[in-house]
Amino acid sequence: MDLLNTLVDKGLRRELPTRDEALAVLATSDDDVLDVVAAAGKVRRQWFGRRVKLNYLVNLKSGLCPEDCSYCSQRLGSKADILKYTWLKPDEASQAAAAGLAGGAKRVCLVASGRGPTDRDVDRVSDTIKAIKDQNEDVEVCACLGLLSDGQAERLRDAGADAYNHNLNTSEGTYGDITTTHTYADRVDTVQKAHAAGLSACSGLIAGMGESDEDLVDVVYALRELDPDSVPVNFLIPFEGTPLAKEWNLTPQRCLRILAMVRFVCPDVEVRIAGGREVHLRSMQPLALHLANSIFLGDYLTSEGQAGKADLEMIADAGFEVEGAGEVTLPEHRAAAGGGCGSHADADAGCGSQEGAGCGSHADAGCGSHQGGGVCGSAPAAAATVTEQPSDARTDLVAVRRRGAGTDLAPNA
């Protein structure tokens, strides 16, 4: 297929595809999905080999968010039967993080629901970061606390944070259909604040909210323009009790095409499969590893994920290897430049044009992970119309988290 050959060549040169080419990837048929995966897989292997980075979510504060993000189980007015608790103490958060690190994670994502942190909240999170790093010197810590005020990103960096997550979630044109309590521009501003403070920026999207192909391409091109080091791709988890509970729009093949499009547009960036992979990719999860080089280990913010042991077995069975703590995730040219879309280090690679949830994991909303736990200030991309739930909706795969942080039960890691 000429399209795929062209996209592979561009990806190996870090050159931005045209919008028509990105849209054409999403328009390919199910018959061609293996060809699409194989092509995008060449680009993934060029920049990341066969390494898979593991990330682990710690939900510092769950539920009762004042924002109205339609996809989120923690939103204002949510009737989802999720865990609700206030701030974990630093030692509790450190203990929760230790479980993920023992399972092979090299990054811990600290997520808290809410519009954004107060200065006292920043102090709490700073103490938590110190507690985690005192026990695990080499661990990466990403914070996902919502919209940042001036100076807060710098304080988090000084406390030892390595990264900050705040997702764009959807296109600017449809953002207002999903969230009314903050704007798309607010989210862009927070990603820029993190970047300016010297934090590694993590910003991604949520697919499956009823958005168009054009919306998906818009948000991915906007992300490339913002130049985050990691892009979490969340697939909507339709939680009962949220406005998008009936939005079952994804198939495994559709998810693979979306991940491939993101890889072609962001060839040398950490692409993370975040919330919803178990619900929508299901038995096709191993194929997605040929597209993304990063996943979350175990549970998400408010929903359960695949068992950590099953994640590790899946990676090994698919012929990949877990990225070690001493390995640098990003390709050398990006790491040396402090991140970036790759085109900053190469005149050939034009940075496209133009954000959530946190560190990449949003099936829960937060740290890259949406849905169930979105850090407020993160919204999805979709039309707000309520449709009849399809008969093949896999509601049995949506399980509310009842273990780990905020409970007396051992975490899933």
Given the residues 14, 44, 75, 109, the one annotated as active site: 109
| pLDDT over 70, % of the chain | 85
pLDDT of residue 382: 37
Task: Calculate mean pLDDT across residues 211-225.
Answer: 98
Q: Report pTM.
A: 0.88
Name, in order, each residue with C-beta under 8 angstroms of 257's C-beta and a sequence gap of 6 or more. Answer: 25, 26, 28, 33, 36
At 391, the pLDDT band (50, 70, 90 cuts) reads low
Task: Calculate mean pLDDT across residues 34-42.
Answer: 98
User: In terms of Cα–Cα distance, which of 87, 62, 44 is closest to 373?
Assistant: 62
Task: Calculate mean pLDDT across residues 206-214.
Answer: 96
Q: Is 255 a catalytic residue?
A: no
* DSSP three-state, residue 152: helix
Task: Calculate mean pLDDT across residues 234-241.
Answer: 89
User: In terms of Cα–Cα distance, which of 183, 185, 123 is closest to 152?
Assistant: 123
Give bridge partners of residue 271 from the DSSP assignment: 231
Where do we find the tokens 């998810």? 255
CA contacts within 13 A on the Cβ side of 233: 32
H or E element, residue 235: strand 230-235
What radius of gyration, in Å, describes the C-alpha atoms of the chain? Answer: 19
* DSSP three-state, residue 59: strand
Count of helices and strands (H, E) across the chain: 14, 12
Residue 359 has pLDDT above 70, yes or no: no
pLDDT in tens, 72-130: 776 767 776 677 888 999 999 999 999 999 999 999 999 998 899 999 999 999 999 99
pLDDT of residue 370: 52
Given the residues 69, 255, 367, 376, the one annotated as active site: 69
Mind giving me the DSSP string for 330-367?
S-HHHHHTTS--SSSS-TTS--------EEEE-SSEEE
pLDDT in tens, 293-322: 999 998 887 777 899 999 999 999 999 999
Given the residues 65, 144, 255, 359, the one annotated as active site: 65
CA distance 228 to 343: 12
Domain 2-328+355-397: CATH class, spelled out: alpha beta
Distances from the Cα of 366 to the Cαs of 30, 35, 131, 300, in angstroms?
31, 32, 21, 9
* 64 contacts 113 by C-beta, under 8 angstroms: yes
Q: Is 142 a catalytic residue?
A: yes
Given the residues 187, 224, 263, 272, the one annotated as active site: 272
Q: Are strands 205-207 and 163-165 parallel, antiparallel or unpaired?
A: unpaired
Roughly how many angstroms between the first and final C-alpha of the chain, as a whole number?
41
pLDDT of residue 403: 73
* Per-domain residue ranges of the chain: 2-328+355-397
If one compares 285 and 353, the residue with the highest pLDDT of the two is 285
| Average pLDDT of the residues of the chain | 86
Given the residues 14, 44, 72, 254, the one annotated as active site: 72
Given the residues 14, 107, 157, 202, the one annotated as active site: 202
pLDDT of residue 65: 84
pLDDT of residue 383: 38
pLDDT of residue 268: 98
pLDDT of residue 381: 36
* 250 contacts 208 by C-beta, under 8 angstroms: yes
Residue 222 has pLDDT above 90, yes or no: yes
Q: Is 202 a catalytic residue?
A: yes
pLDDT of residue 339: 54
pLDDT of residue 124: 96
At 67, the pLDDT band (50, 70, 90 cuts) reads confident
Given the residues 107, 142, 157, 255, the one annotated as active site: 142
* 318 contacts 286 by C-beta, under 8 angstroms: yes
Residue 369 has pLDDT above 70, yes or no: no
Q: What is the DSSP letter of 283?
A: G
pLDDT in tens, 189-202: 999 999 999 999 99
At 373, the pLDDT band (50, 70, 90 cuts) reads very low
Q: Is 351 a catalytic residue?
A: no
If one compares 45 and 84, the residue with the highest pLDDT of the two is 45
pLDDT of residue 392: 77
At 376, the pLDDT band (50, 70, 90 cuts) reads very low
* CB neighbourhood size of 390 (10 A): 11
Q: Is 65 a catalytic residue?
A: yes
Residue 378 has pLDDT above 70, yes or no: no
Name, in order, each residue with C-beta under 8 angstroms of 345's C-beta and a sequence gap of 6 or more. Answer: 333, 334, 336, 337
pLDDT in tens, 327-356: 999 999 998 877 544 333 333 333 333 333
* 166 contacts 158 by C-beta, under 8 angstroms: no
pLDDT of residue 396: 75
Q: Is 69 a catalytic residue?
A: yes
Where do we find the tokens 């559709």? 254
Q: Is 359 a catalytic residue?
A: no
12-16, 303-307, 329-333, 367-371: range with lowest mean pLDDT? 367-371
- Calculate helix-pair angle for 90-102, 119-135, nearest 10 degrees: 40
CA distance 313 to 78: 35
pLDDT of residue 276: 93
